[in-house]
Amino acid sequence: MELDIHALFKAGISKEQIEEIVRCGDKDVQIRMLRKYRYKLLDEIHKKQQSLDEIDYMVSKMRKRL
């Protein structure tokens, strides 16, 4: 299967990272590179979720004080 450059860019992968992935001819290595980026994104999502949880907690505490 051919890499979908537009989809990679849309996923937030930088131009430089896309070029590195494309230059690598080994599909297994490309998959590892994409998985590494996926894990990075997932970690960012978890951090954002923690931030949302903290805000929800503060709002809940404030409402109880009303």
Q: How confident is the model at residue 66 (pLDDT cuts 50, 70, 90)?
A: confident
Is the pLDDT at 13 greater than 90? The verdict is yes
Q: 44-53: string of b/e by CB count within 10 Å (b at 16+)? A: eeeeeeeeee
Q: Tokens in use for 14?
A: 């930088």
Confidence of residue 18 (pLDDT cuts 50, 70, 90): very high
pLDDT tens column, 38-62: 999 999 999 999 999 999 999 999 9
Threshold 0.95, pTM exceeds: no
